[in-house]
Amino acid sequence: MRIIVEEDYESMSKRAALFVASQVILKPDSVLGLATGSTPLGMYKELIEMYQRSEVDFSEVITFNLDEYYQLPHDDAQSYHYFMKENFFKHINIKEYNTHLPDGMAADIEEECRKYERAIESSGGIDLQVLGIGENGHIGFNEPAEKLNVYTGLVNLTEETIKVNSRFFSSVEEVPTKAVTVGMGTILKAKRIILLASGEKKAEAIRDTVNGHVTTQVPSSFLQLHPDVTLILDKAAASLL
Ligand code: F6R
């Protein structure tokens, strides 16, 4: 596991954007695994600026997002479909048909999950996976539990995650209690992984990711088993290392 510690959120975001951009420059038809949430927002902003300066071209890039809330319409402002469109896709030259998110609205959710796995596989697999991390060590929406899912599936969100994510909704009751997420196996099959974390609130999860036992109670600890993981942290997130 490589660990890069940057001074603050802004320099963490710039460093992460350079990782993604160099992946795309070296392999223009890269398959990227993408995350939502507060953490990668600065990275997306940097990538948009690099695109505007013609430093990176997304015309052949394929993306697969990690997760989506269950039964939240795609045009709902809190859906991850909406998030990706507003914060990234509509500002760059990516082709809409090359962007993928799990469809939390699918009538047959199990078939949707199998379809998502097949789509990732037939694209050749994820070249670079971008991850954030929950305060409880979740990656994607793979929450701490006795058992973790290998493949894409429907999962229950923990009370903690619902509470943390309620900051984006008008009340905690509005936060969906379930989500579709790629599984731990799907994440660990990516050729390269970068995990971004910023702020003191993530420091314990980062400590456990790097120095803790590999345990299903800290899903991010499984990253210790992957041969090519880089953590890009700001000083506060790295403060317990
Ligand atoms: C989002 C995702 C989640 C977030 C995590 C951290 O697609 O997969 O694992 O990365 O909940 O969220 P923020 O960045 O909002 O702290």
Run means of pLDDT, 10 residues per run, the chain, 241 residues: 98 98 98 98 98 98 97 95 98 98 96 98 98 97 96 94 91 94 98 98 98 98 98 98 97
* Residue from 65, 80, 133 whose mutation best tests the ligand 1 pocket (most atoms within 8 A of CB): 133
Q: Report residues whose beta carbon is within 6 angstroms of any ligand 1 atom.
A: 35-39, 66-67, 132-134, 138-140
Q: Ligand 1, closest atom to CA 161?
A: 11
Q: Tokens 């036992």 label which residue?
A: 213
* Residue from 39, 101, 143 whose mutation best tests the ligand 1 pocket (most atoms within 8 A of CB): 39
pTM above the 0.95 mark?
yes
Active site residues: 67, 136, 138, 143
Q: Which domains does the chain have, with CATH numbers?
A: 2-234 (3.40.50.1360)
Q: Ligand 1, closest atom to CA 202?
A: 16
Which pLDDT belongs to residue 72? 94
Ligand 1 centroid – CA 92 distance (Å): 22
Ligand 1 centroid – CA 179 distance (Å): 13
Q: Measure the CA–CA gap between 165 and 159, rounded to whole angstroms.
A: 10
Which pLDDT belongs to residue 146? 96
Ligand 1 centroid – CA 35 distance (Å): 7
Which pLDDT belongs to residue 2? 98
Ligand 1 centroid – CA 86 distance (Å): 17
